[in-house]
């Protein structure tokens, strides 16, 4: 099979330093996965207690943390409720949207790349 160029190919290749002639082995940097912010949006109809419950249930917040963050969303219109890998963020958004829909509340939850 034909060789294709790899973006990883030169990372571990020892290089001779131009000035000193010392062989340097570049560190193989671990690539961190991108992170995604999960955002909760305000609306005029979802009860405050429901939002507090959502934050406790799906984001592991204490009642006080959940209440404070709910108030932030209520006042500012939107807030980050957590930062996760793509798969976890996607799952949280789906859980919140499904739970809100089942309770017939218009609560909106979205994600965006950090």
Q: Applying CB under 6 A, which residues contact ligand TYC?
A: 40-44, 46-48, 51, 70, 73-74, 107
Q: How far is the CB of 51 from ligand TYC (least distance, A)?
A: 4
Decide whether 30 or 104 has the Cβ nearer to ligand TYC: 104
CA distances from 11 to 7, 85, 111 (A): 8, 25, 33
Rounded to a whole number of angstroms, the minimum distance from the CB of residue 55 to ligand TYC is 9
Rank residues 35 and 105 by Cβ distance to ligand TYC and give the closer one: 105
**Shortest distance, CB of residue 35 to ligand TYC, whole angstroms?**
21
Considering beta carbons, is residue 87 or 112 the nearer one to ligand TYC?
A: 112
Q: What is the torsional sign of CA 47, 53, 97, 81?
A: positive
- Least Å distance, CB 80 to ligand TYC, is 12
Q: Tell the burial category of 4 from Cβ atoms under 10 Å away from its Cβ (0-12, 13-18, 19+).
A: exposed
Cβ-Cβ contacts under 8 Å for 68 (sequence gap 6 or more): none
């Amino acid at each position: 099979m034909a060789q294709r160029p790899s973006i990883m190919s030169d990372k571990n290749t020892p290089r001779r330093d131009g000035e000193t002639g010392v062989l340097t082995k570049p560190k193989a940097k671990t690539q961190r996965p991108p992170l995604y912010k999960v955002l909760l949006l305000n609306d005029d109809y979802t009860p405050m207690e429901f939002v507090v419950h959502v934050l406790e249930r799906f984001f592991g917040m204490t009642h006080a943390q959940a209440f404070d963050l709910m108030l932030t969303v209520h006042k500012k219109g939107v807030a980050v409720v957590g930062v996760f890998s793509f798969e976890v963020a996607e799952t949280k958004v789906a859980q919140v949207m499904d739970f809100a829909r089942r309770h017939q509340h218009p609560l909106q939850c979205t994600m965006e790349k950090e």
